[in-house]
Structure 1
Amino acid sequence: MAKSRKNNKAVARNIAQERIEYLFDLAKSEFSENPEMSKRYVSLARKIGMRHRVSIPPELKRSFCKNCGSLLLTGSNSRVRLKDGTIIITCLDCGSIKRYPFDKEKKG
């Protein structure tokens, strides 16, 4: 009985991961016409991730504002700056700031 429950959880997590990616794709396509619907898609994706304990991939995690929940698209509602080895992303809807380090030089 325990094995089947474990398999069911694994299947549910795989489905949840696919739905999260699909919802982010919908949010990106819907953003230009209806930003509020885009924000709703992002919140649904986050809820699915929390319910099934699935982490959102880092490239998707950087694409939404954790403060207001809106999808961040450079030039339309976010500003990106590079300063001293740090990427600074500012949400223009709520004003929150996210900072990510990066390597100035590629090795190799």
Structure 2
Amino acid sequence: MAKSRKKNKAVARSIAQERIEYLFDLAKGEFSENPELSKRYVSLARKIGMRHRVSIPSELKISFCKNCGSLLLPGNNSRVRLKDASIIITCLDCGNIKRYPFDKEKKG
């Protein structure tokens, strides 16, 4: 029984990962027409990730605000600035600021 339970968890996690990516795709497609529905898709994706202990990929994690839950699209509801050695993303809905470091090209 233990082997089948582990197998079922692995299958559930892979399905959860696919659904998270699909919900983010839906959220991006729906954002221009209905931002509230887009926010709902993001919250559903986060809940699925927490329930099945699946981490959201980093490229998707950057694309939503952890404070208000809205999808961040530069130019629409977020501002992106490069300062020193970091990327600063500001949510224009709630004013939350996220900073991500980046490395400059190393010489040599």
The aligned counterpart of 1:63 is 63
Root mean square deviation, CA, Å:
1.0
The residue type paired with residue 77 of structure 1 is N
Q: Shift in Å at residue 107 of structure 1? A: 5.8
Q: Shift in Å at residue 104 of structure 1? A: 1.8
Q: Shift in Å at residue 105 of structure 1? A: 1.7
User: Which sections of structure 2, spanning at least 5 residues, go unmatched?
Assistant: none
| Count of residues in Structure 1 that have an aligned counterpart in Structure 2 | 108
The aligned counterpart of 2:105 is 105
The aligned counterpart of 1:48 is 48
The aligned counterpart of 1:81 is 81
Distance 2:18 2:49 in 1: 11
Q: Shift in Å at residue 106 of structure 1? A: 5.4
Q: Shift in Å at residue 66 of structure 1? A: 0.0
The residue type paired with residue 7 of structure 2 is N
The aligned counterpart of 2:29 is 29
Query: Could you list the runs of 4 or more consecutive aligned residues of structure 1 that deviate by over 4 angstroms after TM superposition?
Result: none
- Structure 2-normalised TM-score? 0.97
Distance 1:92 1:70 in 2: 10
User: Which sections of structure 1, spanning at least 5 residues, go unmatched?
Assistant: none
- Structure 1-normalised TM-score? 0.97
The one-character-per-residue Cα deviations of 1:16-63 (angstroms, maximum 9, x if unpaired) are: 000000000000000000000000000000000000000000000000
State, as a whole percentage, how many aligned pairs show the same letter: 90
| CA 1:77–1:106: 2 relative to 1, 3 Å | farther
